[in-house]
Structure 1
Amino acid sequence: MMNNETIRKLHAMKLYGMASAVEVQATTAAVSDLSFEERFGMVVDQESSFRDNKRLSRLLKAAKFREPTACVEDIYYGAERGIDRSRLASLTHCNWIRSGQNLLFTGVTGSGKTWMGCALGNQACRFGMSVLFKRVPLLLEDLAMSHSDGTFRKQLAQLGRPDLLILDDLGISPINSMGRADLLEVIEQRAGSKSVLITSQLPIDRWHDYLTTGGKSGAGGNATQADAILDRLVSGSHRLDLRGDSLRKSTKAGQKGSKDSSEKP
């Protein structure tokens, strides 16, 4: 009876982890031999774990990852990919995010850029950091619409809040003058304090041409804005170029010839 009242009060105070632990202890004979300090410690540990898991679930949901199940433990380190294990291992500690540094992933279609970006974003969430995933083409469309409905500054503020902003597929579609200006505002909002992770099929040395011409051969553009974007993105950033053929191709080929062919990017 006393336990029921205690559990009710714990729920009323939103101490759900402690309530669950008390219920378990009430029905587990093995804990009766433990001291009060040991049993109370178990109750507190359960509450702490409950809160950590709840926060992680909230952060993962808010991030809106394109690859929600991607995690650093599943990264494929095939020699053909050219991934430096020690360098990537250092990135999984997320100190680059704490320092407000950027990370740039490049590689061919299907090389696992998006998956790896989501895996590192997942890792950041485990450390209690906020993350937001956005595909560049859709983001620029949303920002263009926000100019007409008066929500641009609100969206810009939202993009500036997360500890890590993942911008996926830079360069996959043409960018016009408004898109270029909006992208600069997004990058400027975060420069020097909050991290950006970029994925792109284009090698970094082609980003300036893309941003200047909008991806249209022979077209003019604003080189000054391109310079400003690259200065804030590339300067002092971490860079990883994923090599080799598309992992999607290798997976499909493996599925035809092997029962155990699935490999994580």
Structure 2
Amino acid sequence: MSTIENQFTDLRLHGMYARWKAMVETREHHKLSFGEGVEVLLQAEAQDRANRRFDRLTRAAQFRYQATIEELNLESARGINSSQITELATGTYLDQGECILITGATGCGKSFLASALGYQACGQGKKVLYFNTQKLLMKTKMARIDGSFLKLFNKLAKTDLLILDDFGLAHLDKKQQMDLMEIIEDRHVRSSTIIASQLPVGSWYEIIGEATIADAILDRLVHTSHRIELKGESLRKKL
């Protein structure tokens, strides 16, 4: 290994190291001016760091599906507005702390759509966490018992995009109501939340249970939200 390659390795400039090796093997470095060579190496390093950050973000998110915006079925019959999806894909809603509420019958693609939007957010450098709602509320319950409650809630609050899937599969007890309220309150206006549910938004009051808490939660979610109501028969059934 040459002195230059050793320095790239010591400084952890992995993108530069890989690009330099390729340039030497093809003798490309002889064809470039000093400035051009430096620019090529810097671009390679920047791309490598972006790729590795993206990999870290997607692993940490723990998506249900490895889905992309390009893979979405944008047929209008499914209740998807392609212009709306295009707008959401820009990530503007993330910068404005807006929510996305996705509803529809079992198997119609809610989780896939939520995963695709989350995957897109990771590509834009955003921190994303994906949870089944009931499992998250079980996690908050255990965190209260073992004393890690503040740490968990700080992590949820600082996440750029929180995805709550399968919301409404079970009614919430008093502690779950309060935990959900605190999660939504911590994120209100500051960060974005995607909620996917089989139930229409109008039925969420009953699921949450306590009218006052339901009003507070839905007031923070609904008024600044993007709504997507998926239609059609189960995609799983078609497969």
Q: Structure 2-normalised TM-score?
A: 0.96
Aligned-partner Cα distance in 2 for 1:100–1:78: 28
- CA shift at 1:29, angstroms? 2.8
List per-residue Cα deviations over 1:97-155 (Å, max 9, x = no partner): 11000000000000100110010000001111110101101011111122222221221
- Give the AA of the match of 1:136: T
In the alignment, the residues of structure 1 paired with residue 27 and residue 92 of structure 2 have an alpha-carbon distance, to the nearest angstrom, of 44
Q: Paired residue for 1:238?
A: 226
Q: Which amino acid aligns with 1:61?
A: R
**2:112, 2:42 → 1: CA distance?**
36
- Amino acid corresponding to residue 28 of structure 1 in structure 2: T
Identity of aligned residues (%): 38
2:132 is aligned to: 135
Structure 1, 134-143 or 145-154: larger mean CA deviation: 145-154
Query: Which residue among 151, 154, 158 is the counterpart of 1:157?
Result: 154
**Matches of 2:90 and 2:187 in 1, distance apart?**
21
Aligned residue for 2:217? 229
Residues 60, 137 of structure 1: alpha-carbon distance in 2 compared, 3 angstrom cutoff? same
> In 2, Cα distance between the equivalents of 1:152 and 1:225?
20
2-structure distance, mates of 1:24, 1:125: 29
Structure 1 range deviating more: 16-25 or 198-207 = 16-25
Separation (CA, whole Å) in 2 of partners of 1:42 and 1:165:
36
Find the aligned partners of 1:173 and 1:131 in 2 and give their Cα distance: 24
Question: Is 1:190 equivalent to 2:181 in the alignment?
Answer: no
Q: Secondary structure at the match of 1:240?
A: strand
Q: What SS does the corresponding residue of 2:2 show, helix, strand or coil? A: helix
Partners of 1:30 and 1:7 in 2: how far apart? 16
One-letter amino acid matched to 2:31: D
Structure 1 equivalent of residue 103 of structure 2? 106
How far does residue 79 in structure 1 lie from its aligned partner after superposition?
A: 3.5
Distance 1:56 1:210 in 2: 35
What is the SS of the residue equivalent to 1:27? Answer: helix
Query: Once the 2 structures are TM-superposed, how far is the Cα of residue 36 of structure 1 from its aligned partner?
Result: 2.2
| C-alpha distance in 1 between matches for 2:76 and 2:138 | 38
CA distance in 2, matches of 1:25, 1:237: 49
Listed one character per residue, the Cα deviations across residues 239-262 of structure 1 (whole Å, up to 9, x for unaligned) are 0000111111112xxxxxxxxxxx
1:115 matched to 2:112: yes
Counterpart in the other structure of 2:70: 73
* Match status 1:53 vs 2:51: yes
In structure 2, what is the equivalent of residue 25 of structure 1?
23
What RMSD over aligned residues (CA atoms) do the two structures have, in Å? 1.2
CA-CA distance at 1:34 after TM superposition? 2.5
Aligned match of 1:262? none
Unaligned runs of 5+ in 2: none
Q: For the Cα contact (< 8 Å) 2:167–2:195, is it kept in 1? A: yes
Aligned partner (choices 88, 96, 99) of residue 93 of structure 2: 96
Q: Is 2:170–2:207's contact at 8 Å kept on the other side of the alignment?
A: no
Partner of 1:170: 167
Deviates more, 1:79-88 or 1:102-111: 79-88
- Look up the equivalent residue of 1:117 and give its one-letter code: A
Partner residue, 1:261: none
- The structure with the larger Rg is 1
* Deviation of 1:45 (Å): 1.1
SS of 2:171 mapped into structure 1: coil
Displacement after TM superposition at 1:238 (Å): 0.6
Residues in 2 aligned to 1:232 and 1:161: alpha-carbon distance in whole angstroms: 17
When the two structures are superposed, what TM-score results if normalisation uses the length of structure 1? 0.87
Displacement of 1:31 after TM fit?
Answer: 4.4
Segments of 4+ moved more than 3 angstroms: none
